[in-house]
Amino acid sequence: MNERETLKVNPRGHLEIGGADCIELAADFGTPLYVFDEAYIRNMMRVYRNTIEEEYNGNGLVLYASKAFSCEAMYAIARQEGLGADVVSGGELYTAMRAGFPAEKICFHGNNKLKSEIMYALDCGVGCFVVDASSEADFLDEEAGKRGIVQDVLVRINPGVEAHTHAFVQTATPDSKFGFSIHNGTAEKMVESLLQKKHLRLLGYHSHIGSQIFEKQSFVLAVKKVLDFAADIKQKYCFEPQTVNMGGGFGIWYTDEDSKISAGGYRDYLSSLIGAVKAECAAHGLRFPRIMIEPGRSIVGEAGITLYTVGAIKEIPGLKKYVAIDGGMFDNPRYCLYQSKYTAVLANRAAEKPTELVSVAGKCCESGDLIGVNMPLPEAHTGDILAVLSTGAYNYSMASNYNRNLIPPAVLVNNGRAEYIVKPQHYEDLVRFDAVPEYLKK
Ligand SMILES: Cc1ncc(COP(=O)(O)O)c(C=O)c1O
């Protein structure tokens, strides 16, 4: 299936996702509601997996970057599709383990892994730690020693590649909190130190240059920098990487300002990256390492939409029109964080052309609580169902209970059938962790 077929307008003029009518979904499950198309997710996982299979003899592993959308069902899909997973916290790891994810296919990330998280991950038997601090390396070595094991690790290096993307989603610029810089020598020092650790086995290098990147050249340049570094290290320390993990970051469509990448287009990104690894290794006389990648957004972003019900409509004459929804920054904080742009559709009148530009406002007590400004829509009425597209990545995973709003549930649709993958919260859930000291009860 072509992943572009996930959304269509059905003969009733309703938006459909994965064969399910959005208006029926809203009626059955309520709004706000996250909806995910399973076929899209699986298709994208297969695109990456097959590319490594066909163009690199299968010598690699696609890790689903679970920070994009983490819940047990997602780990189950990734497991069934033969992927690994990247986790960045004890909580993501716990969720993966609950879903029966094979620990040996998990890479554990984080610039400040807690001691408790490191011990938990060791006890789970995670395949690989991506070391991102010297204190982490020391503690990990000590704890691996106590358990009588040798733990596989990668070292996160910062190749200093600047991809054209929002400053907060760039991770490989010189002042990043992530990784060890090739340029200032800290990466080399870390490699030297890791090679001396008795209970750690350095497999190679990890690099992630940022997110929502469309320029192939950025990935190719990052590969070049990492493998130049690898060649330099080989000369000095006789250490050759058996694995390079080039992170995630492939861009997706949010609005028509973004390119629409087809499945073939994502294959091309990965092919370029693989081609660059082959060329650089050949140029430097390095053996071909195992390739890992960690796509998140491109697997799940366009697979998801959020359905809302339109409530208050407020026109400020000569200035703007607000269309308020029953969700907001508590289910999608990305406009507030990065001024991210989205496309919205009136799902009950999906064939109608936009006639005006509106600000879609959330219900939180915050002026900045917007899903977007200048969003083209047909004239909206209270009770319309508004679908915001491409919300599958970094929406649920960044959601909060701000203003004690309930985080919406999520359903997975496949061939028109929908089932919960995240159940609805209730008010009791909001007070579950509250505690009232005795003296306040008087
Ligand atoms: C280390 C690492 N790997 C992978 C990803 C996933 O990136 P994306 O969702 O853009 O593919 C991220 C996202 O920030 C990351 O920090």
Q: Evaluate: CB of 341 within 6 angstroms of ligand 1.
A: no
Q: Once rounded to an integer, what is the mean pLDDT over residues 433-438?
A: 98
pLDDT at 167: 57
Q: What is the rounded radius of gyration, in angstroms, for the C-alpha atoms of the chain? A: 23
CATH superfamily, with its number, for domain 3-30+303-431 = Lyase, Ornithine Decarboxylase; Chain A, domain 1 (2.40.37.10)
In 3-state terms, what secondary structure has residue 38?
helix
Q: Please, which residues have CB within 8 angstroms of residue 149's CB and are 6 or more apart in sequence? A: 122, 199
| Residue 204 CB-density burial (10 A; 0-12 exposed, 13-18 middle, 19+ buried) | buried
Segments of 254-406 assigned E as strands: 290-293, 304-316, 320-325, 344-346, 356-361, 370-377, 385-389
Distance CA 347, CA 343 (A): 12
Strands 410-414 and 33-37: parallel
Looking up tokens 């993501």, which residue turns up? 92
pLDDT at 232 over 70: yes
Share of the chain above pLDDT 70, in %: 97
pLDDT tens digits for 156-173? 999 988 776 555 555 666
b/e sequence 87-125, b meaning 16+ C-beta within 10 Å? bbbbebbebbbebebebebbbbbbeebeeebbbbbbebe
Give the Å distance between the CA of 167 and the centre of ligand 1.
14
pLDDT at 3: 45
Strands 304-316 and 320-325: antiparallel
Q: Please, which residues have CB within 8 angstroms of residue 51's CB and are 6 or more apart in sequence? A: 267, 270, 271, 274
pLDDT tens digits for 90-144? 999 999 999 999 999 999 999 999 999 999 999 999 999 999 999 999 999 999 9
pLDDT at 4: 52
Q: Evaluate: CB of 245 within 6 angstroms of ligand 1.
A: no
CB 386 within 8 A of CB 349: no
For the chain, what is the mean pLDDT? 96
Distance CA 254, CA 304 (A): 11
pLDDT at 392: 98
Distance CA 117, CA 12 (A): 51
Distance of CA 440 to the CA centre of its chain: 42
Q: Evaluate: CB of 68 within 6 angstroms of ligand 1.
A: yes
Residue 232 is given by DSSP the state: H
Q: Evaluate: CB of 332 within 6 angstroms of ligand 1.
A: no
Distance CA 35, CA 249 (A): 23
pLDDT tens digits for 336-352? 999 999 999 999 999 99
Closest CA to ligand 1's atom 12: 248
Q: Please spell the DSSP secondary structure of 401-438, one letter per residue.
A: -GGGPPPPPEEEEETTEEEEEEPPP-HHHHHTT----G
pLDDT at 164: 62
**If phi over 0 gives left and psi between -120 and 50 gives alpha, with beta otherwise, what is residue 18?**
left
pLDDT at 337: 94
Confidence of residue 304 (pLDDT cuts 50, 70, 90): very high
pLDDT at 1: 35
Distance CA 212, CA 171 (A): 12
pLDDT at 2 over 60: no
Question: At 201, which amino acid appears?
Answer: R
Distance CA 207, CA 241 (A): 13
Q: Once rounded to an integer, what is the mean pLDDT over residues 76-83?
A: 98
pLDDT tens digits for 353-387? 999 999 999 999 999 999 999 999 999 999 999 99
Distance of CA 49 to the CA centre of its chain: 17
At residue 56, what are phi and psi to the nearest 5 degrees? -140, 30
Q: Once rounded to an integer, what is the mean pLDDT over residues 420-434?
A: 98
Distance CA 411, CA 408 (A): 10
Distance CA 388, CA 362 (A): 12
Distance of CA 90 to the CA centre of its chain: 17
Distance CA 235, CA 132 (A): 23
Closest CA to ligand 1's atom 4: 248
Q: What is the pTM of this model?
A: 0.96
pLDDT at 176: 84
Q: Once rounded to an integer, what is the mean pLDDT over residues 392-417?
A: 98
Looking up tokens 């950025």, which residue turns up? 218
Distance CA 306, CA 34 (A): 4
Q: Once rounded to an integer, what is the mean pLDDT over residues 264-280?
A: 97
What is the rounded (10 degree) CA torsion for 221, 187, 66, 22?
-40
Question: At 185, which amino acid appears?
Answer: G
Give the Å distance between the CA of 395 and the centre of ligand 1.
14
Q: Which residue among 47, 111, 154, 211 has the greatest number of ligand 1 atoms within 8 angstroms of its CB, and so is best to mutate?
A: 211
Confidence of residue 175 (pLDDT cuts 50, 70, 90): confident
Q: Say which CATH topology domain 38-300 has.
A: TIM Barrel (3.20.20)
CB 127 within 8 A of CB 105: yes
Q: Once rounded to an integer, what is the mean pLDDT over residues 37-48?
A: 98
**Domains in the chain: boundaries:** 3-30+303-431, 38-300
Distance CA 88, CA 73 (A): 18
pLDDT tens digits for 277-287? 999 999 999 99
Share of the chain above pLDDT 90, in %: 95
CB 181 within 8 A of CB 156: no
Show the tokens assigned to 206. 């990890």
Active site residue 365: yes
